[in-house]
Amino acid sequence: MNPHLLFQIVSFMTFIFPSIMAFIWVFMPWPRYLLVRAFLAILLGWVATVLLGTCLYNPVGTMTADARGVADAEMHYDNNIGAIALLAGWVLPSVAVINAMVVRWFIAFWNLLSKPENPQDI
């Protein structure tokens, strides 16, 4: 596989995977309380961002720079993704959790509107 294409796939996955994971976690039945679930979703998304950024994004970025023929790729490649992920890795998962909360609200609102007023009318 082309190293540049692999780097693009890994960078896309580093941003998308933690957000999807946080979004799905909000709809899980456990833990029972929604706010605890939302907090855990953001925390798990943050951990996934840090792990993907430091363990996958950095090595693939260095490999891509080596494949392009950059001399001393480790010196020229910006490998500060670990610090960025530690400080701001919670942002995208929190946006995903907010979107999941809005979707949950719309589902609850739709279910409320679709209920008959008198259950005996069914």
Q: Is the pLDDT of residue 72 over 90?
A: no
Work out how many domains the chain is built from and give that number.
1
Per-residue pLDDT tens for 26-52?
999 999 999 999 999 999 999 999 999
Per-residue pLDDT tens for 79-112?
677 788 899 999 999 999 999 999 999 999 999 8
Helices and strands, counts by H and E, the chain: 6, 0
Of the two residues 49 and 117, the one the predictor is more confident about is 49
pLDDT at 62: 87
Residue 66, domain extent: 3-121
- CA dist 88 and 100 (Å) reads 20
pLDDT at 117: 75
